[in-house]
Amino acid sequence: MKIFAHRGCSGAYPENTLAAFRAASELPIEGIELDVHLTKDGELVVIHDELVDRTTDGTGFVKDMTIDQLRLLDAGSWKGSRFEGERIPFLSEVLELFTETQHILNIELKSDIFPYPGMADKVMALVQFMELEERAILSSFDHEVVRYLSSEYPHIQTGCLTMEVMVDFPDYLKKLSASAAHVLFPTALRQMGQELKAAGIPIRAFTVNDESYADLLAQAGVEAIFTDYPERFIQQKSVSSLE
């Protein structure tokens, strides 16, 4: 079972910052996950929420702020004073950390609340420019954008995100030509998980922070987990037969 650092090493570092991704880049794990939004002036930035309020010293929506306004914000201090000065990164800055590594790069497009017209093409242009297509997975709770990506860029891996227990999920994924199911982890243990496994569709589960679930999820056929604490699962891997 593969380990993906969720928002970087977000348990120990401020989520979705270069500090969190630098730490992840140094770990023996298979992948990382990050969240992308679009600024008012069309820049791709890595942050989870639509609002900057929770993870920075600013207030307001990313979509209403220019990159210059966003880059003034402190995205580290909320996690601890030693992280003061961390910024909301450009997507390009985060990807740059991984150009010489083997990590799988899961870019989550946060277009499910605000549609961010043109964001998917911008992400793809950057991924192609940086020659990361083979290691990239583009996922979203916005299934319209998953369908768009699968149709416009059939060679790119996509992930359909859901928090729900879905019925006939494999059929739905085939309809969208999506490559994988990215699911809230307890749902992987339901009939839905069994159906995905039987259909040979990769299941990736979020957000798994308790290592006692690892064996159960591996048995359910989960290909990868997203975790805020990759270190815990690396330790577990070294003492178990998990692959």
Name the residues that contact Mg ion, by CB under 5 A: 35, 108
Can 48 be counted among the known catalytic residues? yes
In this structure, the chain runs to a length of 243
Q: CB under 8 Å to 26, separation ≥6 — which residues?
A: none
- 50-69 residues near ligand G3P, rule: CB under 6 A: none
Query: What is the nearest approach in angstroms of ligand G3P to the Cβ of residue 52?
Result: 16
Per annotation, catalytic residue among 48, 103, 143, 182: 48
Site for ligand G3P contains 142 (CB under 6 A): no
Site for ligand G3P contains 17 (CB under 6 A): no
* Contacting residue, 161, 201, 214, 217, with ligand G3P by CB under 6 A: 161
Query: What is the nearest approach in angstroms of ligand G3P to the Cβ of residue 97?
Result: 18
Question: Which tokens is 45 given?
Answer: 């930035």
Query: What is the nearest approach in angstroms of ligand G3P to the Cβ of residue 54?
Result: 12
Is 85 or 146 the residue whose CB approaches Mg ion more closely?
146
Site for ligand G3P contains 33 (CB under 6 A): yes
Distance CA 18, CA 95 (A): 10
Strands 31-38 and 203-206: unpaired
Site for ligand G3P contains 188 (CB under 6 A): no
SS3 148: helix
Q: Which runs of E-coded beta strand occur in 39-154?
A: 44-46, 104-109, 136-140
* Contacting residue, 1, 3, 5, 6, with ligand G3P by CB under 6 A: 6
Determine the size of the site formed for ligand G3P (CB under 6 A).
11
Nearest to 190 by CA among 215, 230, 144, 222: 222
Site for ligand G3P contains 182 (CB under 6 A): yes
Residue type, 110: K
Distance CA 21, CA 194 (A): 33
Question: Which tokens is 46 given?
Answer: 């890595």
- The residues annotated as belonging to the active site are 6, 48
